[in-house]
Chain A
Amino acid sequence: DAGVTQSPTHLIKTRGQQVTLRCSPKSGHDTVSWYQQALGQGPQFIFQYYEEEERQRGNFPDRFSGHQFPNYSSELNVNALLLGDSALYLCASSAPRDSNTEAFFGQGTRLTVV
């Protein structure tokens, strides 16, 4: 079992550009959540995808959008990048959705905006 995999591991973008991050959930998991972890802080919930739809959203602007594919993998898109978007972006998968259970995290994508 490969667990949760994310790509790429590191990325450098210029302010104003757009970026796409990718995530494959752990086998058997159908729910994917994205988190942003700024330096020295805990992860912050961005949004969650289930059945190819955004089910919940945290306090992030519309520049942050996502997608879930039929195979449960997911993408996070960020438009009009700001310097403040520099962070570690974490993907987490879990199942079943209506029960409390631990989420499994990928290793993250380190995004640097210059």
Chain B
Amino acid sequence: DQQVKQNSPSLSVQEGRISILNCDYTNSMFDYFLWYKKYPAEGPTFLISISSIKDKNEDGRFTVFLNKSAKHLSLHIVPSQPGDSAVYFCAASYANAGNMLTFGGGTRLMVKP
């Protein structure tokens, strides 16, 4: 039972264009969502988060959108840079779970120069 899903295992984008990474979830109790970026041989690095009371959160080139009715969130990267090439994980938690994270399977983003 996969509660968080990232249906696209990989995404290729040209430098300077927008990257859109998608994530779906099934557990209605989730109220906090995070995106992590992972380079090879490193641990996941926190990128951006959003609470369920919001539908958008922006931090520089990164914006996360949350559609609670569709149980869907997306990460937009504008403009994409070659250094953004990494595996991106969507994760979810809920307030009484003590920051226990449920992760999606990841999407490998490749930004071509």
Contact = CB atoms under 8 A, between A and B. Distances in A.
Interface of A: 4, 6, 31, 33, 35, 40-45, 48, 50, 55-56, 58, 90, 92, 94, 97-108
B99 A103 contact: yes
Contacts of B34: 102
B32 A100 contact: yes
Interface residues of B, number: 30
Contacts of A41: 105-106
Interface of B: 4, 6, 31-32, 34, 36, 41-46, 49, 51, 89, 91, 93-106
A48 B98 contact: yes
Contact of A100 (B41, B45, B89, B95): B95
Contacts of A56: 97-98, 100
B41 A107 contact: yes
A105 B103 CA distance: 13
Nearest to A47: B100
Given A43-B101, A43-B103, A105-B44, 15 more contacts: A4-B43, A33-B99, A43-B44, A45-B101, A48-B100, A56-B98, A90-B44, A97-B98, A98-B95, A100-B32, A100-B95, A103-B101, A105-B45, A107-B41, A108-B43
B89 A43 contact: yes
B103 A100 contact: no
A44 B98 CA distance: 15
A106 B42 CA distance: 8
A97 B99 contact: yes
A92 to B, nearest CB: 8
A31 B104 contact: no
Choose among A6, A35, A50 the residue with the greatest number of B CB atoms under 10 Å from its CB.
Answer: A35
A42 B104 contact: yes
Contacts of B102: 45
Given A103-B46, A105-B43, A106-B43, A42 B105 contact: yes
A108 B32 CA distance: 24
Interface centre among A6, A44, A104, A105 (most CB of B within 10 A): A105
